[in-house]
Amino acid sequence: MQKKLFSSLKARLLVSILSIIIVSNLFLVCFLFVNSRNELMKSLAEQNSNFTYSTALQIHNINDREYKMLDSLSKLPLIRDESVDIRKKWEMINAISKEDSSYIGMAIYDEKGIGYTTTGKYQDLHTREYLTKALKGNVSILDPNWSPVNGKLSTFYAVPFYGQDSRQAGAVVAVVDSLGLCQTVSEMIMGKNSHPYVINIKTGKYVAHSDVEFLKQEKSLYDNVPAELESVIRKIKSGEFGSEFCVDKNTKKEYSVSYYPVGGYTDWTVICSAPADDFLGGLNRLFLLAVVIFCVFTFFAVFIVSAFVLKLLKPLNVLKSSIKMIASGNGDLTKRIEISSDDEIGEVVSGFNEFIEKLHKIISDVKASKDRLLCFDSKLQCSAENSNSSISNIVSNIDIVNEEISKQSNCVDATADSVREVADNISRLDSLVLEQAKGTENASAAVEEMVGNIHSVNNSVEKMAERF
């Protein structure tokens, strides 16, 4: 029971101290991790939003550069001069763009949509979407697609030009290699290996992507939209911009998604989606490192606290051993437990030493009393032996007295018979009595004295019998 008690006390102390250490450190680690993660998520959202905005601005500047270049060409006197052959105009604008490898070619069309394509063919293309808008006086851009004219993935920019009388005379078209736009977004990296991409918010089709196959296959972001991205898609369609976190239900991964419209004359929006682990990996590793440090710290804390508790409870263990020795009857009451602390345990040990001191005194007194009792016992044994011999003598004497009493009783009975006979004789000899009054009185007194002696003897015998 004592062993269980001490073990339980030690266990309670260890559990209490270690619980405080573990809970406090675990709370601190979790608190720091959660707050760091929240701050990092905010920073990530802001960083991703700025990154997306920067990408959108860069693409906007690319488009704006093309528009400005086409606008500059459309304002050249040669282009505006209606008397100049359209073929010469085509040759001039292609000669200007030939120095830039990003251009597939230039095309120019009259107000009816008839003119020279990038390949130099004279064709009627007034049904093309980009040209239809331009012939209506609007700046237009056609999403990248495979051109049936040049057979390349091309982006068409179209700007109207006007004659000297301010009447629209046609449209100037620049055809840019869309791979350049894809190269631009592929060079921009968010996180570990995430690239932004550009879509048309009306159709959802990819305008620029690091993987050209998305454009070749004319994939759309709006095809099979995951439920967790529906709210994001609605905001993208409405032309909003922002940044938020979404969780892929299939992979359970968290993504940081930001979107920003390109603006200008396009319906394009730049989207950047990067796994949160790309940015939280360092924090997660730091958290794992903190957990490892916490485990190591806990191990050393267990070792140190165990040693401390064992040292703290050492006097109690000695006290336990002393109590066991005393309980077994083999304890040395002259020994005292050394007091090594001034705390409550030291007070308990001091009280135990005082108890042992008093117990030792009591036991010493008991031993002295025992020695005296043994002496008295020997004397009593001698007295008892003497008393036994005396009693034996008394018993033998009583037996002799009993025999004498029996004899005297028989004599008394004979005497009584003689007395009765004498009494009869006295009654018969009444007449003689009167004559012999003095003699009879004397004889009667003698008889009464004898009877009294007999009664006295009987009383003495009875008392001796009772005492025996």
CA distance 269 to 229: 16
CA distance linking residue 309 with residue 372, whole number of Å: 49
- Per-residue pLDDT of the chain (468 residues), as tens digits, is 444 444 456 667 677 777 777 777 777 777 777 777 777 777 777 888 888 899 899 989 988 888 888 889 888 888 888 888 999 999 988 887 777 778 888 899 999 999 998 888 899 988 888 889 898 888 988 888 877 666 778 889 999 999 888 889 999 999 888 888 888 888 888 878 888 999 999 888 888 888 888 888 888 888 877 776 788 888 888 888 888 887 777 777 778 888 999 987 888 999 988 887 776 666 667 767 777 777 787 777 777 777 776 776 666 666 666 666 666 555 555 565 565 565 556 666 666 667 667 766 777 777 777 777 777 777 777 776 776 676 777 767 777 767 777 776 676 566 667 667 766 766 665 665 466 556 656 656 665 676 666 667 667 667 766 665
Question: Are 131 and 137 within 8 A, CB to CB?
Answer: no
Q: Chain-centre distance of CA 233, in angstroms?
A: 40
Instruction: Report how far apart the first and last C-alpha atoms of the chain are (Å, whole number).
Output: 60
User: Domain 1-329 is of which CATH architecture?
Assistant: 2-Layer Sandwich (3.30)
CA 270, distance to chain mean position in Å, is 43
126 CB contacts (<8 Å, ≥6 apart)?
109, 112, 113, 114, 132, 135
d(CA 262, CA 269): 5
Do 216 and 153 meet the contact criterion of CB atoms below 8 Å apart?
yes
Helix (H, G, I), strand (E, B) or coil at 237: helix
Alpha-carbon distance values, 194 to 197, 256, 274, 287 (Å): 10, 11, 6, 24
What's the longest Cα–Cα distance across the chain?
A: 224
Burial 158-177 (b: 16+ CB within 10 A, else e): bbbbbeeeeeebbbbbbbbb
Phi (first) and psi of residue 6, to 5 degrees: -65, -40
The pLDDT value given to residue 171: 93
| β-bridge partners, 155 | 176
For residue 392, count other CB atoms closer than 10 A to its CB.
Answer: 10
Q: Strands, DSSP E only, in 2-47?
A: none
Give residue 132's Cα distance to chain centre: 68
CB 270 within 8 Å of CB 188: no
Using alpha carbons, select from 181, 230, 223, 184 the residue that is nearest to residue 203.
223
